[in-house]
């Protein structure tokens, strides 16, 4: 008799955003006349930039002709795209990465979810709290977390590193030895960042403890301030201890186009074993590469025109972020983030839980956000709004809150 | 100190097709004047059909406008595509499948590689031998296979079910109880099929033993003979014991477009646990859905015009299959398959191994095929050619072999 992977049964509830979607659908069904403004899920709303659209049409026409048709591509991605990434995302910042260290994928969600497969289920993982749920859930499924404790809201074997207003959203280094560290900066959900000095401590910790950092920099394009690293490889020695994840989703509005990449440096080894080789093997066995058309779309991001167009979109979202930040402050809220990230993290009013605030905001103001507690126990008492709405909706939302 | 997943170290060599690619590249570098004909990897060569190209352009234009732009889609796939699959692939064959049982993905390789995650690592797996390497390798990585035995060419805990000329490529049911059964019909690599009566035995075995069948029917569009099931759900009771995998790769030339789907029936349970719910959770946690544009491309397959166009392409490849089959027979080879599948499986000449024949064919005839032993120990002594080449190359290859 077949047995299931019992670890799946330890997963808590359904995935955060599905729960929200259901609540919103129920509310809308009961209140068909209400105009709901959605600032919950981190999904972009501006269309794909013209330069990228042009590239998609061109690649599509190549697929229509025998002479230029492309079948299976390399599982690691086409060199034309890997080379552009090396040049534009790394070399321009003074970082030396080889194209063989870049693995094109269909999403940072997939990559950050799959990366744990390369490692023993005995390893101890550490996550910041609050956290993007995928890091935790993929480890629950793999059996690395132990059971969920309802009293603490935590999994027994996981090291939680709180990031709250109390420590200015700079999580403390673990006191114990941990093996696998998940960091996301600019941070989802708090919208906060680490500066170079702060990030350097994590690289040092990883070196001293033989740990590996999974560095999710999906939001690096939103950084506006100086001294905030766009890549962990800006920190000396990071190539020996860190895998970096990047995505076109928020950089170029690719949430529905699906393209991302992971950087697995050749220097990164566990004993004699090259993690670049292991990840390569994983991808070759369980992945068939990203569509040619999609990779051509991503390539167009790395042109002067493409850059100009995506930066206009990012500026649009960051103006929304400013409107939300300042709007909330004027309405008496304490807010964080929104300067180097498209997320605004606010303190919910005293005496309310995050979900209570979610319900109140939905019912009274018809605004959807994301309850902080959905991201972990230290997210309780906070709430996330995103800057990805339209300008009109963003302004309208702030007007509703002001009233 | 972090530890790796030691199971990865049990994997044998590098992935079959990478090894072939390297040998071919080396040969070409040494013999730049030779025109190599590639009938090795199962990759299509005809361009994407006009009706599908039209759909891609149209969807691309939707992504260019704010009003019609699509961000994150449902992880399970858009309803417009799931509904078409239900209607065209199942209802038209008298099979009742609900759209919630269909999960759109970026490849059957990913799906067949990932499905094992839902199950305990204690389960016993059974694979046909020879076999598509992904079924085995994904289980090696997960730790379900034990160690590799160099003497037998087998993993110690895996049940191998030989499919050779001796049993007319109908693998025997396992004598022991196994939990997870991988079947692929029409078969890759042998090109052979099971008829309804034969497949019924497997469903019966699974019911009696509490096993689950992973049924890969990626090549069903190539079936030309009667009484060969296109779907395992043509067999009564199969919904309680089988997950089916389908792909647009070979059906519509999507190897570079990337779209496939898995069917996980609601009836399929292990104890009280719904596998449909588990797979849904897996996909929602580690996958972000298939690009909107790609799903629109797949939708165009399900139109009268789309069907006509893809069937012309399939007929083209199957004419190639006939040319190879008959050409080889005329040259004195014993051949199998090629009637309901784009693969021809031939006996290599007495006294040679599959890899020796590979080298000989590459060096003397400048033709690339796939050595049977790359698919498992019972593939030794066989060799796979594919019908996916151009007509000219296919004819030219047969002429070279004749000489």
B287 touches chain A (CB under 8 A): yes
Boundaries of every domain in chain A: 6-47+307-402, 54-304
* Domain spanning A6-47+307-402: CATH 3.90.1150.10: yes
Place of tokens 């296109």: B230
- Using a CB-CB cut-off of 8 Å, the residues of chain B touching A211 are 2
- Using a CB-CB cut-off of 8 Å, the residues of chain B touching A291 are 256-258, 291, 294
* In chain B, residues 133-172 whose CB comes closer than 8 Å to chain A: 133-134, 137-138, 141
Average pLDDT value for residue range B307-319: 98
At A16 the pLDDT is 78
In this structure, what token pair is assigned to residue A127? 């996550």
A53 Cα distance to chain centroid: 24
Question: In sequence order, what DSSP letters do the residues of B271-325 get, joined into one string?
Answer: TTEEHHHHHHHHHHHH-----HHHHHHHHHHTSHHHHHHHHHHHHHHHHHHHHHH
The secondary structure of residue B4, as a DSSP letter, is B
At B91 the pLDDT is 98
Q: Could you give the CA distance from residue B94 to residue B229 in angstroms, rounded to a whole number? A: 12
User: To the nearest whole angstrom, how far is the Cα of A350 from the nearest Cα of chain B?
Assistant: 32
Question: Are A186 and A219 within 8 A, CB to CB?
Answer: yes
Instruction: Note whether A47 contacts B63, CB cutoff 8 Å.
Output: yes
At B334 the pLDDT is 98
Q: Could you give the CA distance from residue A244 to residue A214 in angstroms, rounded to a whole number? A: 6
Phi and psi of B337, rounded to 5°? 70, -165
Q: Could you give the CA distance from residue B369 to residue A280 in angstroms, rounded to a whole number? A: 24
CA distances for B187 relative to A17, B182, B327, B337, B380, angstroms: 40, 11, 21, 9, 16
Residue B272 has pLDDT above 80, yes or no: yes
Question: Are A91 and A275 within 8 A, CB to CB?
Answer: no
Instruction: Note whether B60 contacts A65, CB cutoff 8 Å.
Output: no
CATH, domain range B6-47+311-402: 3.90.1150.10
The SS3 of residue A289 is coil
Q: Could you give the CA distance from residue A142 to residue A7 in angstroms, rounded to a whole number? A: 7
Enter the pTM of the model.
0.97
CATH, domain range A54-304: 3.40.640.10
At B15 the pLDDT is 66
CA distances for B265 relative to B103, B184, B205, B239, angstroms: 11, 18, 18, 6
Instruction: Note whether A3 contacts B63, CB cutoff 8 Å.
Output: no
Q: How many CB pairs under 8 A join A and B?
A: 235
Instruction: Note whether B9 contacts A293, CB cutoff 8 Å.
Output: no
CA nearest B1 in A: which residue? A210
Q: Given A46, A123, A291, which is nearest B3 (Cβ)?
A: A123
How many CA within 13 A on the CB side of residue B290?
31
CA nearest A253 in B: which residue? B71
Q: Could you give the CA distance from residue A198 to residue A362 in angstroms, rounded to a whole number? A: 37
Average pLDDT value for residue range B224-244: 97
- Using a CB-CB cut-off of 8 Å, the residues of chain A touching B15 are 281, 284-285
Question: In sequence order, what DSSP letters do the residues of B354-402 get, joined into one string?
Answer: HHHHHHHIIIII-EE-EEGGGG-GGGTTEEEEES-S-HHHHHHHHHHHH
Place of tokens 């090396």: A86
Phi and psi of B91, rounded to 5°? -60, -40
CA nearest B271 in A: which residue? A3
How many CA within 13 A on the CB side of residue B276?
16
User: To the nearest whole angstrom, how far is the Cα of B307 from the nearest Cα of chain A?
Assistant: 16
User: To the nearest whole angstrom, how far is the Cα of A225 from the nearest Cα of chain B?
Assistant: 28
User: To the nearest whole angstrom, how far is the Cα of A351 from the nearest Cα of chain B?
Assistant: 32
Phi and psi of B102, rounded to 5°? -100, 130
Q: How many residues does this entry show for chain B? A: 403
B2 touches chain A (CB under 8 A): yes
Q: Which residues make beta-bridge pairs with A246? A: A261
In this structure, what token pair is assigned to residue A253? 């509005």
In this structure, what token pair is assigned to residue B99? 């759209």
**One pLDDT digit (tens) per residue for chain A, 403 residues:** 999 999 999 998 766 777 898 999 999 999 999 999 999 988 999 999 999 999 999 999 999 999 999 999 999 999 999 999 999 999 999 999 999 999 999 999 999 999 999 999 999 999 999 999 999 999 999 999 999 999 999 999 999 999 999 999 999 999 999 999 999 999 999 999 999 999 999 999 999 999 999 999 999 999 999 999 999 999 999 999 999 999 999 999 999 999 999 999 999 999 999 999 999 999 999 999 999 999 999 999 999 999 999 999 999 999 999 999 999 999 999 999 999 999 999 999 999 999 999 999 999 999 999 999 999 999 999 999 999 999 999 999 999 999 8
A92 touches chain B (CB under 8 A): no
Among A285, A289, A292, A306, most B C-beta atoms within 10 A, so best to mutate, is: A285
At B41 the pLDDT is 82
Instruction: Note whether B256 contacts A47, CB cutoff 8 Å.
Output: no
In SS3 terms, B39-72 reads as: CCCCCCCCCCCHHHHHHHHHHHHHHCCCCCCCCC
| A115 Cβ contact list (under 8 Å, min separation 6) | A214, A243, A245, A262, A279
User: To the nearest whole angstrom, how far is the Cα of A56 from the nearest Cα of chain B?
Assistant: 7
User: To the nearest whole angstrom, how far is the Cα of A67 from the nearest Cα of chain B?
Assistant: 8
Peptide bond into B189 cis (omega under 30): yes
User: To the nearest whole angstrom, how far is the Cα of A332 from the nearest Cα of chain B?
Assistant: 33
Which of A191, A200, A196 has its CA nearest to residue A222? A191
B7-21, B69-83, B232-246: the lowest-pLDDT one: B7-21
A117 Cα distance to chain centroid: 19
Question: Are A268 and A232 within 8 A, CB to CB?
Answer: no
The secondary structure of residue A365, as a DSSP letter, is I
Q: Could you give the CA distance from residue B317 to residue B324 in angstroms, rounded to a whole number? A: 11
Instruction: Note whether B210 contacts A110, CB cutoff 8 Å.
Output: no
Edge to edge, the sheet with strand B102-105 lists B102-105, B260-263, B242-247, B212-216, B180-184, B125-129, B159-162
User: To the nearest whole angstrom, how far is the Cα of A393 from the nearest Cα of chain B?
Assistant: 14
CA distances for A184 relative to A163, A286, A341, B160, angstroms: 12, 25, 11, 44
Instruction: Note whether A4 contacts B258, CB cutoff 8 Å.
Output: no
Residue B268 has pLDDT above 70, yes or no: yes
A44 touches chain B (CB under 8 A): yes
* In chain A, residues 358-397 whose CB comes closer than 8 Å to chain B: none
Which of A120, A117, A235, A248 has its CA nearest to residue A183? A235
Question: In sequence order, what DSSP letters do the residues of B137-200 get, joined into one string?
Answer: HHHHHHT-S--EETTTTEETTPEEEE-SGGGTT-PPPPSS--SEEEEESS-TTT-----HHHHH
ipTM tops the 0.85 cut: yes
At B14 the pLDDT is 62
Instruction: Note whether B15 contacts A284, CB cutoff 8 Å.
Output: yes
At A41 the pLDDT is 82
B18 touches chain A (CB under 8 A): yes
């Amino acid at each position: 008799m077949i047995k299931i992977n019992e670890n799946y049964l330890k997963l808590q509830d359904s995935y955060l955003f599905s729960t929200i979607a259901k609540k919103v659908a129920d509310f809308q069904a009961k209140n068909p006349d209400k105009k709901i403004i959605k600032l919950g899920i981190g999904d972009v709303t501006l269309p794909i930039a013209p330069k990228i659209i042009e590239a998609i049409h061109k690649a599509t026409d190549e697929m229509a002709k025998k002479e230029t048709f492309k079948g299976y591509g390399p599982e690691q991605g086409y060199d034309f795209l890997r080379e552009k990434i090396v040049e534009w995302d790394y070399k321009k910042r003074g970082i030396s990465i080889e194209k063989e260290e870049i693995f094109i994928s269909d999403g940072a969600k997939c990559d950050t979810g799959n990366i744990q497969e390369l490692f023993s289920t005995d390893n101890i993982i550490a996550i910041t709290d609050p956290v993007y749920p995928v890091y935790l859930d993929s480890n629950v499924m793999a059996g690395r977390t132990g059971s969920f404790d309802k009293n603490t809201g935590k999994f027994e074997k996981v090291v939680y590193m709180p990031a709250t207003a109390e420590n200015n959203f700079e999580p403390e280094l673990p006191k114990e030895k941990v093996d696998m560290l998940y960091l996301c900066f600019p941070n989802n959900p708090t919208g906060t960042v680490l500066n170079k000095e702060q990030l350097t401590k994590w690289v040092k910790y990883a070196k001293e403890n033989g740990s590996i950092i999974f560095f999710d920099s999906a939001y690096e394009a939103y950084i506006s301030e100086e001294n905030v690293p766009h890549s962990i490889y800006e920190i000396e020695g990071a190539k020996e201890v860190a895998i970096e994840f990047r995505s076109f989703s928020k950089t170029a509005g690719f949430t529905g186009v699906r393209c991302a990449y992971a950087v697995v440096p050749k220097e990164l080894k566990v004993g004699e074993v090259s993690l670049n080789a292991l990840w390569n093997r994983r991808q070759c066995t369980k992945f068939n590469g990203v569509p040619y058309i999609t990779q051509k779309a991503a390539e167009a991001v790395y042109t002067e025109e493409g850059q100009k167009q995506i930066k206009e979109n990012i500026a649009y979202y960051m103006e929304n972020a400013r409107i939300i930040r300042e709007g909330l402050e004027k309405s008496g809220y304490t807010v964080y983030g929104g300067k180097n990230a498209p997320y605004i993290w606010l303190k919910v009013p005293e005496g309310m839980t995050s979900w209570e605030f979610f319900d109140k905001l939905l019912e009274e103001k018809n605004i959807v956000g994301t309850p902080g507690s959905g991201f972990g126990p230290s997210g309780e008492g906070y709430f996330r709004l995103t800057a990805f709405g339209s300008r009109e909706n963003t302004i309208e939302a702030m007007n509703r809150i002001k009233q």
